[in-house]
Structure 1
Amino acid sequence: MENRIIYDYVTFSSQIHSPDDLIDILGLNGVSFDVSNGFYGYRSRLFFCGISIHFEGAPGMGVCVEMSGKGCRTFEEFGNGDYEGIFTLVRQHQPDGEMKITRLDVAYDDFSGKLDLFQLSQDTVENHFVSRFRDWQVIQGNKGGSVNHGSKSSNVYIRIYDKALEQKVALMHWVRVEIQMRKECAWGFIQLKDIIDKKFFSVLNEYLRYIVNDGSDSNRWRLPMVDYWADFVDYDDQVSIFAKPASDFNVAKLYEYITTQTSGACQTYIDMFGSDSFLSTIAAARKGKRLNPKYQQLKSEFLAHGDAILNYLGEHDETKRN
């Protein structure tokens, strides 16, 4: 997989849009949201696969859209994936207090091995870095490790962690560098007039660098960066690595794989031995075996939102046929 930069959490609110307006802005008219009790002082919430629309709050609270990492992938898969459209609206209306962005996470996914989490942890403990933060933390455990700079409650928080282990994806290098921005810093990020790649590294370099701590300069910010960090932040500004990966694996991709990659083999077996034999053979082949985590996650999502997903796929197929 190619290294990439993605949006991984987006929260914004509006005083001038209804929940239906925001569903339309997100391009999610084709899915069915569940209705439940709200959070953050809102009485009600619409929810679909990591996307929450909170409404019916106190006067002045407006309507709040919250997209987690999973929600961002859903936005890309089922919605229009138009982040810049959202940010343009916020830039137009935040100065007047009509809209507001309150959280924005941008993440770099390293699949190529640019960053060694063990080396980063060691260099952090040994103070081979400069940072705008007072707090840092190195965590190691059976669920993976992470190097954290800043406080979760502050307006900027940087987390570097083993995403492969968190997602239980075996035999691959996947280290994520995540910048979590809140309030004024999230607002500042979307106002920067440049490609997301340059904005990501600009913010990162402003807050954190790993250095050759040789004591040659009393101003540690002037010390040279260690080779691996210099290589990491040295990107080709002519080629963007911004991506909208949608779900790494989802119902639509499962459907596509079955209907395009395996349909011929399945149909041949059924023609020869019958559908009952086909189903019993599959069941026998899977007996006692654990599902790949991506399939298990897919089953969980289907149990929660099966009707909405089936409706979407049905409309999607109907559109293709027409």
Structure 2
Amino acid sequence: MNTSENVVRVDALSFSFNVSYMRDLSQWHEFRKVSGYNGVLPEFPKAPSQIDFRTGLTLDAADYQRRLDDYLHDHCNAVYQRVFLFFDRILGLSVGPVRSRGMQGYSHSCRLFSADGKTECGWLMFGGANQKDTAHVQLSGVGCRHLFMHTTPYLLWNTLRGLGVTRLSRIDLCFDDFTGNFDTSYALTAYKDRAFLSGKGGRVQELDVRRPLTGDTLRGDTVYVGKRKSRIYWRVYDKALEQKIEGVSWYRSEVELKKVTVDVLSDVDAFFAGLCDYSASVLSKHIERVRQLPSDERRVQENILPCLELLGRVQRVRRQFARIAGDVLDIFDGDTGAAFGLLACPDAVKKYSLDDYESTLKRGGVIFSHSMKHQRLYGVN
């Protein structure tokens, strides 16, 4: 099973697990030699006794507290190191340095990154007297994309069950439509038909429609069903409008679920379809339409989402750096290689041998025939 088989994607994920499961890490297949693992798992320290084994006498309070503090420190280090290995080897994520600043009642926190350490993916929290030896994980939409490059929802379901996880604190499921069939108008009609109700006799949820304008320009188009604090909270919105991508139809139906069974990960599509009549109709009609498409058009459909996400990122970069890029192109007479050489990240500069342009600037060797304004600006006589 792979993520391409899932029509519905996981776009945010939060769960807690007991760190005591880190003691059994040597029993996991991924940490046995048969899997190719040749590392050594950090040992857990033994808790101090209040009795001095040499004398048989009770330790004084100050001495015992010092030993207890040392134990807690060593235990925290062992937990962190094992969690680091667990995230790296099983979830394909890297764990950043431990911060003494806690979050959500936990005493320590770490940032989670992609496997290469370049992209921030979420947070790991642990420690604290009131947290019952648990750790808490929060993954953003970007974090979920990196997670599911390494595993699948079904495999993650098995992994979390192995950690004793029975419920997820939160999971966001989203469905992307590129036909315009399941837009905000469709969502409003479904709401009037009570299609967002979950189960018979359910209460009618709150409806909130937001379509902000600046003059005659529509800046957003979102339908919210439910309340943010509700167990089920729907957002149906114009994703293309949000990303400022013109000329395409891209609507997203997203549901935020709180305190839901971990079994949602065993079959994400089925769980999404079973939430209400709205989600069932969206998914069934989409699958029926895709089945009727020729194979080449199906492949195009599969490629639309990553292409639009890339275009969205380009649009954000363009808004932030368009003027700078324009100046660079002017200086180098439209040489796009020079522009990329100066604006790309160091890894890309090295990979594509673009560092000559920066060296040229540093030597003052830029030759161009622009206005005296540019010449004065860049120190060329």
Per the shorter chain, which TM-score range?
Answer: 0.5 to 0.7
1:64 counterpart (91, 115, 136): 136
TM-score between both structures, scaled by the size of structure 2:
0.50
1:149 aligns to 2:220 (yes or no): no
Q: For 1:19-34, what aligned pairs fall within 5 Å after superposition?
A: 19-20=83-84, 21-28=86-93, 31=94, 33=96
Match of 1:5 in 2: 8
- Which whole-Å deviations, capped at 9, do the CAs of 1:30-89 have from their partners, x for residues lacking one? x56355433211233222222221222334151112111121123245xx1333222113
Match of 1:55 in 2: 126
Q: For 1:197-208, what aligned pairs fall within 5 Å after superposition?
A: 197-205=269-277, 208=278
Q: CA RMSD in A?
A: 4.5
The answer to whether the 8 A contact 1:155-1:181 is kept is yes
CA distance in 1, matches of 2:133, 2:226: 28
Structure 1 consecutive aligned stretches of length 4 or more whose deviation exceeds 4 Å: 229-232, 237-247, 276-279, 282-287
Q: 1:114 offset after TM fit, Å?
A: 1.7
TM-score between both structures, scaled by the size of structure 1:
0.58
Match of 1:38 in 2: 102
Q: Which amino acid aligns with 1:104?
A: I
Match of 2:264 in 1: 189
Query: Which runs of 5 or more residues in structure 2 are unaligned?
Result: 1-5, 23-78, 114-119, 214-218, 292-297, 315-327, 352-381
2:171 counterpart (95, 98, 104): 104
Q: 1:175 offset after TM fit, Å?
A: 0.6
Does the residue aligned with 1:84 lie in a helix, a strand or coil? helix
Quick one: higher RCO (CA 8 Å, sep 6+), 1 or 2?
1
Match of 1:85 in 2: 155
Match of 2:145 in 1: 73
Q: For 1:92-241, what aligned pairs fall within 5 Å after superposition?
A: 92-94=162-164, 100-121=167-188, 123=189, 127-130=192-195, 131=197, 132=202, 133-142=204-213, 143-183=219-259, 185-190=260-265, 195-205=267-277, 208=278, 230=281, 233-236=284-287
Query: Which runs of 5 or more residues in structure 1 are unaligned?
Result: 210-228, 255-275, 288-297, 315-322
CA distance in 2, matches of 1:278, 1:134: 55
1:150/1:186 Cα in 2 relative to 1: closer, same or farther (>3 Å)? farther
User: Larger C-alpha radius of gyration, 1 or 2?
Assistant: 2
Of residues 233-242 and 63-72 in structure 1, the stretch that sits farther from structure 2 once superposed is 233-242
